[in-house]
Structure 1
Amino acid sequence: MSLYQNADELKTLVLGKTTDYKSEYAPELLQGVPRALNREDLDLDGELPFYGEDVWYGYELSWLEPGGKPKVAVAEFRFSCNSVNLVESKSFKLYLNSLNQSRFADSAAVEKTLTEDLTKVAQGDVTVTLFDVDDCPPLAISAIDAVKIDDIDLTIDGFEFDREILKTACADTSDIVEEKLVSHLLKSNCLITNQPDWGSVYISYKGPAINHKVLLSYIISFRMHNEFHEQCVERIYTDIMEFCQCQSLTVFARYTRRGGLDINPYRSSENNTAPRNRTLRQ
């Protein structure tokens, strides 16, 4: 799987390599990964079959006021799925740390700098919002408005990714339903380092009823799969849409944070933005 794993575009990334931390503003640290790499593998050419964005939260953002007093904030970053590149997470962390000993006039100047730098590397629409650490509504824990499918009894014989599992997901295509489902058993591995990525995946759809046991088996098959967060979500979306012929579909993964960042890819047949909430695991 992951035919693009040895692509030349990935060989220059700092991910998986020993690096030095810079504590003064260094936008050159940011690195982008072409979204086209995995989309070629998914046969996504031309106009995308979904809307969406990648929502990141940064918990380790700090800078200096003009007089030298430190400031801290929580940052929300929203990247359009139509951007040319996704931002590589380790380079993002190194970049954010480069602000630690850098002086800015105020938080608005920090937002402006972040927006400009991230837009340049992503080559697409980016929105940055800073929140006070004591008043960040998007990080309020929300009740789960979905049916959890994790308690289904399963026997798992292998942990290799297998999209063909979904072939039996919709036995009766005449039974049209609307459902909101969630599984907290999503786990994949970083494409470069093989480090585990843990997440909860929310799936909302209208269409032929999806067999929950089959869907859970499919989600668990990502357990040893190597791919970036955004790419996993696009794979889940395109596989479900292909095999289940949904009239509408939304896939939203909330990944646990690593290195002070969490990544939350959102893909949908509807032109909506990702909801602002979080789960206990984050």
Structure 2
Amino acid sequence: MSILMPEPKNTLLGKDTVYSDQYNPGLLQPISRALGRDAIGDHHFKGVDIWRLYELSWLNSQGVPQTAVAELFVPASTHSIVESKSLKLYAGSFAMTQMGSQEEVANRMSDDLSLRLGGTVKVKLFSIQNYPGQVKTMPGLSLDHLTLPAGGEISTYETEPGLLEFDPHSSEIIQKTFSTTVFRSLCPVTGQPDLASVMINYKGRAISPEGLLKYLVSYRCHKGFHEQCVEQIYHDMRTVFQPELLEVYACFTRRGGIDINPFRSSVREQPDEVIREMRQ
């Protein structure tokens, strides 16, 4: 059962653009979350989208260039996401703009994003020398090297929740973390591949790891923004398994100096730890 996200209209993705180096919040382009959620048929999500910007620079009051790594925390409750290329252009517009301090830059970005996305967007800036984001491997039981049973070959590459199934050999309640590094989806505008590592925290009746792997692989030719893909995974698993606890956390690889990391949970708004995966 393929769920297709409608292509957003009038975005900057895939188009030639002029790069401004003077501060311009008008470059930010919101995209309604309803576009993806209407396609799924579910609007009830807790969580946050964590964006990291590695190409942020501005001038101090003496004209000396400053640099920082930015982490943005966009609540899943906002009415919109920000189109990624517009965020890159917006961040680039600080390049020849004098700002009084790093704190001023963070506050300006928070105000601009909060206004356009419909909720409080938290912005943290870190100096390059003191950035705490050490890379790590996704925790959990890796699905990547499962041995599929005879006749269990993977052949479905468009989303299919019917691949999700309970473990036929066990009805016990489990609490496990599963992970994979082989997730791929496609940008709904440009068709470019988006690669990610995905972690799933699950508590409920035992599920088939092989079925979960097949299901995650079925996104390989699916067109959807990062946030929509994670919400669809969460929705499908919640619908099929009705677990006591469910969390889906995806760390997408960097594009244009930005990586995007959606987190959805049945119990909380933010993860205990902000993960920076090996390919980020």
Tell me which interval the TM-score lies in, with the shorter structure as reference length.
over 0.9
* 8 Å Cα contact 1:59/1:260 also seen in 2: yes
Amino acid at match of 1:209: A
Q: How does 1:212-223 map to 2 (within 5 A)?
A: 212-223=209-220
1:152 aligns to 2:146 (yes or no): yes
1:110 to 87, 95, 105: 105
Equivalent residue for 2:203? 206
Partner Cα separation in structure 1 for residue 3 and residue 92 of structure 2 = 31
Any idea what SS the aligned residue of 1:233 has? helix
Any idea what SS the aligned residue of 2:178 has? strand
Any idea what SS the aligned residue of 2:130 has? coil
Partner Cα separation in structure 1 for residue 106 and residue 136 of structure 2 = 26
* 8 Å Cα contact 2:172/2:205 also seen in 1: yes
After TM superposition, give the deviation of residue 157 of structure 1 in Å.
2.1
* 8 Å Cα contact 1:2/1:227 also seen in 2: no
Unaligned runs of 5+ in 1: none
Any idea what SS the aligned residue of 2:154 has? coil
1:87 to 78, 82, 85: 82
Q: How does 1:38-49 map to 2 (within 5 A)?
A: 38-45=36-43, 48=44
Q: TM-score, normalised by structure 2?
A: 0.94
Partner Cα separation in structure 1 for residue 36 and residue 48 of structure 2 = 16
Task: For residues 189-221 of structure 1, give each alpha carbon's deviation from its aligned partner in whole angstroms, at most 9, with x where no partner exists.
Answer: 001000010000000010011111000000000
Partner Cα separation in structure 2 for residue 2 and residue 177 of structure 1 = 29
Partner Cα separation in structure 2 for residue 143 and residue 229 of structure 1 = 20
Any idea what SS the aligned residue of 2:196 has? strand
Task: For residues 108-155 of structure 1, give each alpha carbon's deviation from its aligned partner in whole angstroms, at most 9, with x where no partner exists.
Answer: 110111001111111112000000111111x11235431111101342
2:234 to 234, 237, 240: 237
After TM superposition, give the deviation of residue 174 of structure 1 in Å.
3.3
Over the residues paired in the alignment, what is the CA RMSD in angstroms? 1.5
Partner Cα separation in structure 1 for residue 136 and residue 37 of structure 2 = 32
Any idea what SS the aligned residue of 1:78 has? strand
Task: For residues 51-106 of structure 1, give each alpha carbon's deviation from its aligned partner in whole angstroms, at most 9, with x where no partner exists.
Answer: 10000110000000111100000000000000000011010001101111111011
Number of matched pairs: 274
1:12 aligns to 2:6 (yes or no): no
Alignment CA distance shift 1:143-1:14 (3 Å):
closer
Unaligned runs of 5+ in 2: none
Task: For residues 210-252 of structure 1, give each alpha carbon's deviation from its aligned partner in whole angstroms, at most 9, with x where no partner exists.
Answer: 1110000000000010000000000000101111121110000
1:281 aligns to 2:274 (yes or no): no
After TM superposition, give the deviation of residue 26 of structure 1 in Å.
1.0
Q: How does 1:25-36 map to 2 (within 5 A)?
A: 25-36=23-34
1:121 to 98, 107, 116: 116
Q: How does 1:181-196 map to 2 (within 5 A)?
A: 181-196=178-193
The runs of at least 4 consecutive aligned structure 1 residues that moved more than 6 Å come to none
Any idea what SS the aligned residue of 1:53 has? strand
